[in-house]
Structure 1
Amino acid sequence: MQVKKNPNADPGKYSFIFFQIGLIVMLSLTYFGLEWKSYQGDDLDKQRVQINSFEQEDVPITQVNTPPPPPPPPPPAMPEIIEVIEDKLDIEETKIESTETNQNEAIEPIAEVEDIAFEEEEEEIEKIPFMLVENIPIYPGCENVKGKDAQKKCMSEKIDAHVQQEFRTYISEQLGLTGFNRIYVIFKIDAKGYVADIRARGPNKQLEEEAIRVVKLLPQMKPGRQRDKPVAVEYSLPIMFEIRESI
Protein backbone atom coordinates (compact mmCIF):
# COMPACT_ATOMS: atom_id res chain seq x y z
CA MET A 1 0.00 0.00 0.00
CA GLN A 2 1.48 3.37 -1.07
CA VAL A 3 1.48 6.34 1.41
CA LYS A 4 0.28 9.67 -0.01
CA LYS A 5 1.18 13.16 1.28
CA ASN A 6 -1.49 15.63 2.32
CA PRO A 7 -1.00 18.88 0.40
CA ASN A 8 -2.28 20.90 3.38
CA ALA A 9 0.31 19.39 5.69
CA ASP A 10 3.29 20.52 3.54
CA PRO A 11 5.54 22.87 5.73
CA GLY A 12 7.46 24.22 2.78
CA LYS A 13 4.33 25.94 1.55
CA TYR A 14 4.76 28.81 4.07
CA SER A 15 8.56 28.96 4.19
CA PHE A 16 8.78 32.32 2.39
CA ILE A 17 6.34 33.92 4.82
CA PHE A 18 8.31 32.61 7.80
CA PHE A 19 11.51 33.93 6.24
CA GLN A 20 10.10 37.46 5.88
CA ILE A 21 8.77 37.46 9.46
CA GLY A 22 12.13 36.29 10.83
CA LEU A 23 13.98 38.93 8.79
CA ILE A 24 11.73 41.70 10.08
CA VAL A 25 12.20 40.56 13.68
CA MET A 26 15.99 40.39 13.39
CA LEU A 27 16.21 43.82 11.77
CA SER A 28 14.01 45.30 14.50
CA LEU A 29 16.14 43.79 17.26
CA THR A 30 19.32 45.06 15.57
CA TYR A 31 17.95 48.61 15.25
CA PHE A 32 16.81 48.79 18.88
CA GLY A 33 20.11 47.32 20.01
CA LEU A 34 22.03 50.04 18.19
CA GLU A 35 19.80 52.85 19.40
CA TRP A 36 19.75 51.77 23.03
CA LYS A 37 21.82 53.96 25.40
CA SER A 38 22.48 53.47 29.07
CA TYR A 39 23.87 55.98 31.61
CA GLN A 40 25.43 55.30 34.99
CA GLY A 41 24.66 57.96 37.49
CA ASP A 42 27.66 57.17 39.73
CA ASP A 43 30.24 58.13 37.10
CA LEU A 44 29.08 61.72 36.80
CA ASP A 45 31.39 64.36 38.31
CA LYS A 46 29.24 66.31 40.66
CA GLN A 47 32.01 68.68 41.87
CA ARG A 48 31.28 72.36 41.70
CA VAL A 49 33.79 75.01 40.79
CA GLN A 50 33.78 77.89 43.18
CA ILE A 51 35.31 81.16 41.99
CA ASN A 52 36.19 83.55 44.73
CA SER A 53 36.12 87.21 43.96
CA PHE A 54 39.57 88.82 43.68
CA GLU A 55 40.50 91.24 46.36
CA GLN A 56 41.20 94.63 44.88
CA GLU A 57 44.52 96.07 46.00
CA ASP A 58 44.69 99.78 46.61
CA VAL A 59 47.63 101.26 44.70
CA PRO A 60 49.11 104.27 46.50
CA ILE A 61 49.03 107.46 44.49
CA THR A 62 52.43 109.11 44.17
CA GLN A 63 52.38 112.83 43.73
CA VAL A 64 55.27 114.46 41.86
CA ASN A 65 56.13 117.89 43.10
CA THR A 66 56.66 119.85 39.92
CA PRO A 67 58.31 123.21 40.55
CA PRO A 68 56.30 126.15 39.30
CA PRO A 69 57.52 127.82 36.09
CA PRO A 70 59.88 130.76 36.53
CA PRO A 71 58.30 134.18 36.41
CA PRO A 72 58.49 136.04 33.10
CA PRO A 73 61.39 138.48 32.72
CA PRO A 74 60.60 142.06 33.53
CA PRO A 75 59.92 144.35 30.59
CA PRO A 76 62.84 146.48 29.43
CA ALA A 77 63.13 149.83 31.08
CA MET A 78 61.91 152.76 29.07
CA PRO A 79 64.57 155.34 28.19
CA GLU A 80 64.30 158.52 30.16
CA ILE A 81 64.94 160.74 27.13
CA ILE A 82 63.40 159.93 23.78
CA GLU A 83 65.42 161.30 20.90
CA VAL A 84 63.35 162.30 17.93
CA ILE A 85 65.10 161.83 14.59
CA GLU A 86 63.94 163.87 11.67
CA ASP A 87 62.71 161.86 8.75
CA LYS A 88 64.68 163.88 6.26
CA LEU A 89 67.69 162.30 4.67
CA ASP A 90 69.90 163.78 2.01
CA ILE A 91 69.97 161.16 -0.73
CA GLU A 92 72.27 161.73 -3.63
CA GLU A 93 70.60 160.68 -6.80
CA THR A 94 72.75 158.92 -9.36
CA LYS A 95 72.45 160.43 -12.75
CA ILE A 96 72.28 157.90 -15.54
CA GLU A 97 73.91 159.22 -18.65
CA SER A 98 72.48 158.30 -21.97
CA THR A 99 74.50 155.91 -24.09
CA GLU A 100 72.97 157.05 -27.35
CA THR A 101 75.32 158.76 -29.76
CA ASN A 102 74.77 162.09 -31.42
CA GLN A 103 75.49 162.83 -35.03
CA ASN A 104 77.40 165.95 -34.03
CA GLU A 105 79.88 164.00 -31.88
CA ALA A 106 83.23 163.19 -33.42
CA ILE A 107 83.92 159.52 -34.09
CA GLU A 108 87.33 158.35 -33.00
CA PRO A 109 89.23 156.36 -35.59
CA ILE A 110 89.50 152.62 -34.96
CA ALA A 111 93.04 151.39 -34.48
CA GLU A 112 94.33 148.81 -36.90
CA VAL A 113 95.22 145.34 -35.66
CA GLU A 114 98.82 145.80 -36.79
CA ASP A 115 99.21 148.88 -34.57
CA ILE A 116 98.39 146.93 -31.36
CA ALA A 117 101.48 145.59 -29.62
CA PHE A 118 101.26 142.29 -27.77
CA GLU A 119 103.69 141.35 -25.03
CA GLU A 120 104.30 137.66 -24.62
CA GLU A 121 104.48 136.60 -20.99
CA GLU A 122 107.04 133.98 -20.25
CA GLU A 123 105.60 130.90 -18.60
CA GLU A 124 107.28 130.24 -15.30
CA ILE A 125 108.02 126.56 -14.80
CA GLU A 126 108.65 125.45 -11.25
CA LYS A 127 111.28 122.90 -10.30
CA ILE A 128 110.73 119.51 -11.87
CA PRO A 129 111.76 116.15 -10.36
CA PHE A 130 114.87 114.60 -11.87
CA MET A 131 112.96 111.52 -13.11
CA LEU A 132 110.30 113.59 -14.94
CA VAL A 133 112.27 116.30 -16.70
CA GLU A 134 112.55 116.01 -20.48
CA ASN A 135 116.31 116.75 -20.66
CA ILE A 136 118.24 116.06 -17.47
CA PRO A 137 121.15 118.25 -16.31
CA ILE A 138 124.52 117.22 -17.74
CA TYR A 139 127.38 116.67 -15.30
CA PRO A 140 130.85 117.77 -16.53
CA GLY A 141 132.36 114.80 -18.32
CA CYS A 142 129.01 113.35 -19.47
CA GLU A 143 128.52 115.65 -22.47
CA ASN A 144 129.32 112.96 -25.05
CA VAL A 145 127.01 110.33 -23.53
CA LYS A 146 123.96 109.62 -25.68
CA GLY A 147 120.58 108.57 -24.40
CA LYS A 148 118.68 109.74 -21.33
CA ASP A 149 119.23 106.54 -19.32
CA ALA A 150 122.96 106.56 -20.04
CA GLN A 151 123.18 110.23 -19.03
CA LYS A 152 121.39 109.48 -15.74
CA LYS A 153 123.81 106.64 -15.01
CA CYS A 154 126.82 108.81 -15.83
CA MET A 155 125.61 111.66 -13.61
CA SER A 156 124.88 109.30 -10.71
CA GLU A 157 128.35 107.74 -10.93
CA LYS A 158 130.05 111.16 -11.06
CA ILE A 159 128.14 112.44 -8.00
CA ASP A 160 128.84 109.22 -6.04
CA ALA A 161 132.54 109.51 -6.80
CA HIS A 162 132.52 113.15 -5.67
CA VAL A 163 130.79 112.25 -2.36
CA GLN A 164 133.20 109.37 -1.66
CA GLN A 165 136.16 111.67 -2.24
CA GLU A 166 134.97 114.71 -0.25
CA PHE A 167 132.89 113.25 2.61
CA ARG A 168 134.74 113.05 5.92
CA THR A 169 133.56 109.78 7.44
CA TYR A 170 135.74 110.15 10.52
CA ILE A 171 133.12 112.55 11.93
CA SER A 172 130.97 109.49 12.69
CA GLU A 173 133.86 107.91 14.60
CA GLN A 174 134.31 111.07 16.65
CA LEU A 175 130.59 111.03 17.48
CA GLY A 176 130.75 107.37 18.48
CA LEU A 177 128.38 106.20 15.74
CA THR A 178 128.72 102.65 14.44
CA GLY A 179 127.01 100.51 11.85
CA PHE A 180 125.22 101.93 8.82
CA ASN A 181 124.68 105.67 8.69
CA ARG A 182 122.19 107.16 6.22
CA ILE A 183 121.88 110.80 5.24
CA TYR A 184 119.22 111.93 2.77
CA VAL A 185 120.05 115.08 0.82
CA ILE A 186 117.69 116.95 -1.53
CA PHE A 187 118.98 119.85 -3.61
CA LYS A 188 118.06 121.80 -6.71
CA ILE A 189 120.05 122.34 -9.90
CA ASP A 190 118.75 125.74 -10.98
CA ALA A 191 118.19 127.08 -14.50
CA LYS A 192 121.87 128.15 -14.65
CA GLY A 193 123.26 124.78 -13.55
CA TYR A 194 124.26 125.76 -9.99
CA VAL A 195 123.37 123.77 -6.87
CA ALA A 196 120.88 125.51 -4.55
CA ASP A 197 118.26 124.89 -1.84
CA ILE A 198 120.18 122.07 -0.15
CA ARG A 199 118.35 120.16 2.59
CA ALA A 200 119.70 117.21 4.57
CA ARG A 201 118.30 114.76 7.11
CA GLY A 202 120.48 112.36 9.06
CA PRO A 203 121.14 110.78 12.47
CA ASN A 204 123.20 113.74 13.64
CA LYS A 205 123.29 117.46 12.94
CA GLN A 206 127.03 117.42 12.26
CA LEU A 207 126.56 114.71 9.62
CA GLU A 208 123.82 116.80 8.01
CA GLU A 209 126.13 119.83 7.89
CA GLU A 210 128.90 117.69 6.38
CA ALA A 211 126.52 116.39 3.67
CA ILE A 212 125.47 119.97 2.82
CA ARG A 213 129.14 121.02 2.61
CA VAL A 214 129.94 118.18 0.20
CA VAL A 215 126.96 118.96 -2.07
CA LYS A 216 127.94 122.64 -2.24
CA LEU A 217 131.26 121.55 -3.79
CA LEU A 218 129.51 120.06 -6.83
CA PRO A 219 130.59 121.82 -10.06
CA GLN A 220 128.32 123.83 -12.31
CA MET A 221 126.34 121.61 -14.70
CA LYS A 222 124.48 122.08 -17.91
CA PRO A 223 120.92 122.87 -16.73
CA GLY A 224 118.00 120.62 -17.50
CA ARG A 225 115.46 121.66 -20.11
CA GLN A 226 111.68 121.38 -20.26
CA ARG A 227 109.88 122.47 -23.46
CA ASP A 228 113.22 123.71 -24.81
CA LYS A 229 113.64 126.05 -21.85
CA PRO A 230 116.16 125.76 -18.99
CA VAL A 231 114.41 124.81 -15.76
CA ALA A 232 115.30 123.97 -12.18
CA VAL A 233 115.55 120.23 -11.47
CA GLU A 234 115.18 118.63 -8.04
CA TYR A 235 117.65 115.84 -7.24
CA SER A 236 117.62 113.37 -4.32
CA LEU A 237 120.94 112.00 -3.07
CA PRO A 238 121.09 109.26 -0.39
CA ILE A 239 124.52 109.01 1.33
CA MET A 240 125.16 105.71 3.11
CA PHE A 241 128.36 104.46 4.75
CA GLU A 242 129.28 101.89 7.40
CA ILE A 243 131.46 102.37 10.46
CA ARG A 244 132.79 99.10 11.82
CA GLU A 245 133.75 98.67 15.44
CA SER A 246 137.46 98.24 16.06
CA ILE A 247 138.39 94.81 17.43
Structure 2
Amino acid sequence: MEPKKNPTKDLNNKSGLYFVIGLCLVMLLTYVALEWKTYNNMHGYDISLNVADELTEEVPITVQIKTPPPPPPIPTPVIIDVVEDDTEVEETIIESTETDQEEAIEVLDVVVEEDEELLEVSFLVIEDVPVFPGCEKEKNKGQEAMRACFQEMMNKHISKNFRYPEMAQEMGIQGRVSVMFDIQKDGSIGNIRMRGPDKSLETEAGRIIGKLPQMTPGKQRGIPVRVPFSMPINFKLQ
Protein backbone atom coordinates (compact mmCIF):
# COMPACT_ATOMS: atom_id res chain seq x y z
CA MET A 1 0.00 0.00 0.00
CA GLU A 2 1.51 3.39 -0.98
CA PRO A 3 1.62 6.21 1.50
CA LYS A 4 -0.80 8.99 0.97
CA LYS A 5 1.69 11.81 1.61
CA ASN A 6 4.90 12.70 -0.18
CA PRO A 7 7.85 12.31 2.21
CA THR A 8 9.59 15.29 0.64
CA LYS A 9 6.57 17.47 1.33
CA ASP A 10 6.28 16.48 5.00
CA LEU A 11 6.69 19.56 7.18
CA ASN A 12 7.18 17.64 10.38
CA ASN A 13 10.72 16.85 9.40
CA LYS A 14 11.79 20.50 9.85
CA SER A 15 9.43 21.50 12.66
CA GLY A 16 12.27 21.62 15.17
CA LEU A 17 14.25 24.03 13.00
CA TYR A 18 11.28 26.28 12.50
CA PHE A 19 10.58 26.28 16.22
CA VAL A 20 14.11 27.41 17.03
CA ILE A 21 14.01 30.16 14.37
CA GLY A 22 10.67 31.39 15.65
CA LEU A 23 11.87 31.36 19.22
CA CYS A 24 14.91 33.39 18.26
CA LEU A 25 12.77 35.95 16.46
CA VAL A 26 10.44 36.32 19.43
CA MET A 27 13.36 36.81 21.82
CA LEU A 28 14.91 39.34 19.45
CA LEU A 29 11.68 41.33 19.24
CA THR A 30 11.29 41.20 23.03
CA TYR A 31 14.83 42.50 23.56
CA VAL A 32 14.34 45.32 21.06
CA ALA A 33 11.04 46.29 22.71
CA LEU A 34 12.65 46.40 26.17
CA GLU A 35 15.67 48.37 25.07
CA TRP A 36 13.76 50.87 22.96
CA LYS A 37 14.26 54.45 24.30
CA THR A 38 12.77 57.79 23.34
CA TYR A 39 14.39 61.23 24.00
CA ASN A 40 12.67 64.55 24.75
CA ASN A 41 14.04 67.52 22.86
CA MET A 42 12.86 69.96 25.63
CA HIS A 43 16.04 69.19 27.69
CA GLY A 44 14.07 69.05 30.96
CA TYR A 45 13.22 72.73 31.38
CA ASP A 46 10.70 75.23 30.14
CA ILE A 47 12.22 77.58 27.60
CA SER A 48 9.43 80.07 28.28
CA LEU A 49 11.21 81.01 31.54
CA ASN A 50 14.43 82.09 29.81
CA VAL A 51 13.36 85.67 29.42
CA ALA A 52 16.88 86.99 29.74
CA ASP A 53 17.74 85.93 26.20
CA GLU A 54 14.85 87.96 24.80
CA LEU A 55 15.85 91.25 26.50
CA THR A 56 17.93 92.99 23.95
CA GLU A 57 17.27 96.57 25.11
CA GLU A 58 19.97 97.95 27.39
CA VAL A 59 18.76 99.61 30.61
CA PRO A 60 20.62 102.85 31.37
CA ILE A 61 22.34 103.14 34.76
CA THR A 62 21.12 106.02 36.89
CA VAL A 63 23.99 108.16 38.11
CA GLN A 64 23.39 110.68 40.90
CA ILE A 65 25.27 113.89 40.20
CA LYS A 66 25.89 116.11 43.19
CA THR A 67 25.37 119.75 42.47
CA PRO A 68 27.99 122.03 44.01
CA PRO A 69 26.81 124.18 46.95
CA PRO A 70 25.92 127.76 46.19
CA PRO A 71 28.70 130.27 46.74
CA PRO A 72 28.68 132.12 50.06
CA PRO A 73 26.96 135.50 50.08
CA ILE A 74 29.11 138.49 49.46
CA PRO A 75 29.63 140.36 52.75
CA THR A 76 28.17 143.82 52.93
CA PRO A 77 30.91 146.44 52.89
CA VAL A 78 31.38 148.35 56.11
CA ILE A 79 30.36 151.96 55.85
CA ILE A 80 32.88 154.21 57.53
CA ASP A 81 31.61 157.54 58.70
CA VAL A 82 34.14 160.28 58.15
CA VAL A 83 33.98 162.94 60.87
CA GLU A 84 35.30 166.37 60.11
CA ASP A 85 37.77 168.02 62.44
CA ASP A 86 35.33 170.77 63.32
CA THR A 87 32.78 168.32 64.72
CA GLU A 88 33.08 167.79 68.46
CA VAL A 89 33.16 164.16 69.51
CA GLU A 90 32.00 163.24 72.99
CA GLU A 91 34.64 161.25 74.81
CA THR A 92 33.67 158.52 77.23
CA ILE A 93 35.27 159.02 80.60
CA ILE A 94 36.28 155.79 82.29
CA GLU A 95 36.34 156.10 86.03
CA SER A 96 39.18 154.40 87.87
CA THR A 97 38.25 151.54 90.18
CA GLU A 98 41.39 151.90 92.26
CA THR A 99 40.89 153.13 95.77
CA ASP A 100 42.88 155.78 97.47
CA GLN A 101 45.17 154.48 100.17
CA GLU A 102 43.85 157.13 102.49
CA GLU A 103 40.26 155.91 102.12
CA ALA A 104 39.09 153.40 104.72
CA ILE A 105 38.03 150.00 103.44
CA GLU A 106 34.91 148.60 105.08
CA VAL A 107 35.11 144.85 105.74
CA LEU A 108 31.85 143.01 106.24
CA ASP A 109 31.53 140.22 108.77
CA VAL A 110 32.26 136.85 107.21
CA VAL A 111 29.87 134.09 108.20
CA VAL A 112 31.72 130.82 108.73
CA GLU A 113 29.55 127.78 108.10
CA GLU A 114 29.65 124.95 110.58
CA ASP A 115 32.12 122.26 109.66
CA GLU A 116 30.42 119.14 108.35
CA GLU A 117 32.79 116.96 110.35
CA LEU A 118 31.45 118.45 113.59
CA LEU A 119 27.95 117.14 112.96
CA GLU A 120 28.87 113.69 114.32
CA VAL A 121 31.83 112.56 116.43
CA SER A 122 32.55 109.07 117.77
CA PHE A 123 32.18 108.46 121.52
CA LEU A 124 35.80 107.23 121.72
CA VAL A 125 37.45 110.37 120.28
CA ILE A 126 35.12 113.20 121.26
CA GLU A 127 36.68 115.93 123.38
CA ASP A 128 33.77 116.25 125.87
CA VAL A 129 31.81 113.00 126.19
CA PRO A 130 28.06 113.10 126.86
CA VAL A 131 27.28 113.26 130.56
CA PHE A 132 24.95 110.59 131.93
CA PRO A 133 22.86 111.89 134.86
CA GLY A 134 24.85 111.13 137.99
CA CYS A 135 28.29 111.45 136.34
CA GLU A 136 28.66 115.21 136.75
CA LYS A 137 31.02 114.74 139.71
CA GLU A 138 33.50 112.90 137.48
CA LYS A 139 34.27 115.93 135.27
CA ASN A 140 37.26 116.92 137.32
CA LYS A 141 38.83 113.46 136.87
CA GLY A 142 39.15 113.70 133.10
CA GLN A 143 37.44 112.30 130.06
CA GLU A 144 38.48 108.69 130.70
CA ALA A 145 36.73 108.77 134.04
CA MET A 146 33.67 110.27 132.35
CA ARG A 147 33.60 107.44 129.80
CA ALA A 148 33.92 104.81 132.53
CA CYS A 149 31.10 106.44 134.51
CA PHE A 150 28.92 106.59 131.39
CA GLN A 151 29.44 102.86 130.75
CA GLU A 152 28.72 101.98 134.38
CA MET A 153 25.49 103.99 134.41
CA MET A 154 24.39 102.33 131.15
CA ASN A 155 24.86 98.87 132.69
CA LYS A 156 22.85 99.90 135.75
CA HIS A 157 20.06 101.25 133.55
CA ILE A 158 19.87 98.01 131.54
CA SER A 159 19.84 95.82 134.67
CA LYS A 160 17.10 97.97 136.24
CA ASN A 161 14.81 97.95 133.20
CA PHE A 162 15.63 94.45 131.88
CA ARG A 163 12.65 92.13 131.30
CA TYR A 164 12.93 88.83 129.44
CA PRO A 165 10.14 88.43 126.82
CA GLU A 166 7.72 85.65 127.87
CA MET A 167 7.37 84.33 124.34
CA ALA A 168 11.15 84.02 124.00
CA GLN A 169 11.30 82.19 127.35
CA GLU A 170 8.63 79.69 126.30
CA MET A 171 10.40 79.00 122.99
CA GLY A 172 13.85 78.86 124.59
CA ILE A 173 15.20 81.77 122.52
CA GLN A 174 18.34 83.48 123.80
CA GLY A 175 21.27 85.41 122.36
CA ARG A 176 22.96 88.79 122.03
CA VAL A 177 21.25 91.89 120.65
CA SER A 178 23.50 94.68 119.33
CA VAL A 179 21.95 98.07 120.03
CA MET A 180 23.03 101.28 118.28
CA PHE A 181 21.68 104.74 119.02
CA ASP A 182 22.61 108.43 118.81
CA ILE A 183 22.90 110.96 121.61
CA GLN A 184 21.53 114.02 119.82
CA LYS A 185 22.79 117.61 120.06
CA ASP A 186 20.13 118.38 122.66
CA GLY A 187 21.01 115.30 124.76
CA SER A 188 17.99 113.22 123.73
CA ILE A 189 18.19 109.60 122.46
CA GLY A 190 17.31 108.91 118.83
CA ASN A 191 17.92 106.72 115.77
CA ILE A 192 17.73 103.45 117.76
CA ARG A 193 18.69 100.34 115.74
CA MET A 194 18.72 96.73 116.92
CA ARG A 195 20.11 93.52 115.46
CA GLY A 196 19.61 90.17 117.18
CA PRO A 197 18.54 86.53 116.80
CA ASP A 198 14.82 87.16 117.38
CA LYS A 199 12.32 89.97 116.86
CA SER A 200 11.01 89.80 120.42
CA LEU A 201 14.53 90.21 121.83
CA GLU A 202 15.16 93.19 119.52
CA THR A 203 11.90 94.83 120.64
CA GLU A 204 12.82 94.46 124.32
CA ALA A 205 16.31 95.89 123.72
CA GLY A 206 14.80 98.89 121.92
CA ARG A 207 12.37 99.45 124.80
CA ILE A 208 15.23 99.52 127.31
CA ILE A 209 17.27 102.04 125.31
CA GLY A 210 14.18 104.16 124.72
CA LYS A 211 13.86 104.66 128.50
CA LEU A 212 17.30 106.32 128.79
CA PRO A 213 17.15 109.72 130.53
CA GLN A 214 18.00 113.10 129.03
CA MET A 215 21.77 113.61 128.96
CA THR A 216 24.16 116.50 128.61
CA PRO A 217 25.21 116.41 124.94
CA GLY A 218 28.77 115.74 123.89
CA LYS A 219 30.85 118.64 122.56
CA GLN A 220 33.66 118.98 120.05
CA ARG A 221 35.58 122.29 120.06
CA GLY A 222 32.88 123.56 122.39
CA ILE A 223 30.07 122.85 119.90
CA PRO A 224 27.32 120.28 120.71
CA VAL A 225 27.46 117.37 118.26
CA ARG A 226 25.67 114.09 117.67
CA VAL A 227 27.45 111.14 119.30
CA PRO A 228 26.74 107.57 118.11
CA PHE A 229 26.97 104.84 120.73
CA SER A 230 26.59 101.06 120.56
CA MET A 231 26.58 98.22 123.09
CA PRO A 232 25.36 94.60 123.32
CA ILE A 233 22.53 93.34 125.53
CA ASN A 234 22.72 89.63 126.38
CA PHE A 235 19.56 87.57 126.78
CA LYS A 236 20.41 84.31 128.53
CA LEU A 237 18.04 81.81 130.12
CA GLN A 238 18.93 80.58 133.60
- Asked if these proteins are the same fold (TM beyond 0.5), I'd say yes
Please tell me the residue identity of whatever aligns with 1:176: G
Counterpart selection for 2:211 from 199, 203, 217:
217
Q: CA deviation at 1:103?
A: 7.3
Of 196, 201, 204 in structure 2, the residue corresponding to residue 202 of structure 1 is: 196
Number of residue pairs matched by the alignment: 155
Instruction: Evaluate the alpha carbon distance shift between residue 212 and residue 117 of structure 1 in structure 2; reply closer, same or farther with a 3 A threshold.
Output: same
Match among 120, 130, 135 for residue 142 of structure 1: 135
- Give the C-alpha shift of residue 174 in structure 1: 3.5
Q: TM-score, normalised by structure 2?
A: 0.56
**In structure 2, what is the Cα distance between the partners aligned to 1:198 and 1:81?**
79
Q: Which residue of 2 aligns with 1:177?
A: 173
Question: Secondary structure of the equivalent of 1:161?
Answer: helix
- Bigger shift: residues 189-198 or 114-123: 114-123
Tell me: CA distance 1:83–1:161, structure 2 relative to 1, closer, same or farther (3 Å): farther
1:131 is matched with which residue: 124, 137, 140?
A: 124
Q: Deviations over 1:36-64 (max 9, x none)?
A: xxxxxxxxxxxxxxxxxxxxxxxxxxxxx
Partner of 1:157: 152
Greater alpha carbon shift after TM alignment, 226-235 vs 145-154:
145-154
Percent identity of equivalent pairs: 34
| AA of the residue aligned to 1:217 | K
Q: Please give the per-residue CA displacement for 1:138-179, whole angstroms capped at 9, x wherever unaligned.
A: 00111011322221121112111111222321342044315x
| CA 109–167 in structure 1, closer or farther in 2 if over 3 Å, else same | same
Listed as ranges, the gaps of 5+ residues in structure 1 are 1-77, 90-101
**Separation in 2 of the partners of 1:219 and 1:79?**
93
Relative to the length of structure 1, the TM-score reads 0.54
Structure 2 gap ranges (5+): 1-61, 74-90
Letter in 1 for 2:152: E
The within-5 A match list for 1:93-108 is: 104-108=93-97
